[in-house]
Amino acid sequence: MSKAEERALEKYPQKVEWVGNQWDGAPFDVNSKSRVAYEQGYHQAEKDLELSWEDIKLVHNITYEESRNVALNKGGEISEQEFYQEVLKRFKESKQQ
């Protein structure tokens, strides 16, 4: 079972109900359509968040530029966390444009 299927089942567990009348009906999992939609959304989100080689190139270029900025403007006095937070901020900003 895939991660998407597991999450969908957690969110929309099997719920079997009788659908139809007493002479013409059948048990039916009323959450099945919701699970399918959840799984499709999950897979689409994975695709949307996937990094391409262009994204990695962009991160590399931003990291290089930020390294130069730190060396020139901040005298190298910046923590590793601050440095990479700035890189991440700039990457997110560039993806929104």
pTM of the model: 0.66
pLDDT in tens, 64-92: 999 998 888 766 678 899 999 999 999 99
Same domain, 33 and 60: no
Same domain, 9 and 40: yes
Same domain, 8 and 41: yes
pLDDT in tens, 19-45: 887 778 889 999 999 999 999 999 999
Euclidean distance between CA atoms 62 and 50, whole angstroms: 19
Same domain, 24 and 41: yes
What domain range includes position 73? 53-96
Same domain, 58 and 90: yes
